[in-house]
Amino acid sequence: MTEFILNLIAWGGYIGIFILMTLENVFPPLPSEVIMGLGGMAVARGDMDMTPLLIVATLGTTFGNMFWYGVGRWIGIARLKPFVDRYGRWLTMTWDEVEQLNRFFNRHGLWVVFVFRFLPTFRTMISLPAGMAKMG
């Protein structure tokens, strides 16, 4: 994995960082800590500048989050019901529990998103319910 990250950064520079940060948010197993750590090493060597690195990485992360937000917005809460009705037993959830979570998220969504953005894996997936709730 690290070899892939190193090769993409070496090949694409800032564009490589953008692609990797986008992929990190679309496919959570990619570690942004490694990507930005290697970007920081490139800054220390003089191969990159700090400000463009931060801007490009932030844009990549935002773009990746917008992907999951768009998926959540497309699915919506109404399209989720047939899936939960059919597979809820395997997911160990009922539609009533989904509605409770939806009400909680609509009430406290901004804080939930804020807190979950600091947690690995959850920072990517929190964009999905945010899209379903059509958060601004």
The reply to whether 71 and 51 lie within a common domain is no
**10-41 burial: b if 16+ Cβ within 10 Å, else e:** eeebbebbbbbbbbbbeebebebeebbebbee
The reply to whether 124 and 70 lie within a common domain is yes
pLDDT in tens, 29-72: 777 888 888 899 889 999 899 999 999 999 999 999 999 999 99
pLDDT in tens, 12-26: 889 999 999 998 888
Local structure of residue 49 (DSSP, 8 states): -
The reply to whether 77 and 105 lie within a common domain is yes
Q: What is the pLDDT of residue 57?
A: 94
How far is the C-alpha of 32 from the C-alpha of 34, rounded, in Å? 5
Contact 30, 24 (CB under 8 A): yes
Q: What is the pLDDT of residue 66?
A: 93
The reply to whether 72 and 128 lie within a common domain is yes
Q: What is the pLDDT of residue 109?
A: 85
Q: How many domains does the chain have?
A: 2
How far is the C-alpha of 12 from the C-alpha of 25, rounded, in Å? 19
pLDDT in tens, 89-130: 887 878 888 888 888 888 888 898 899 888 877 887 888 888
The reply to whether 89 and 48 lie within a common domain is no
The reply to whether 45 and 77 lie within a common domain is no
Q: What is the pLDDT of residue 74?
A: 93
The reply to whether 54 and 34 lie within a common domain is yes
Range of the domain at 49: 2-58
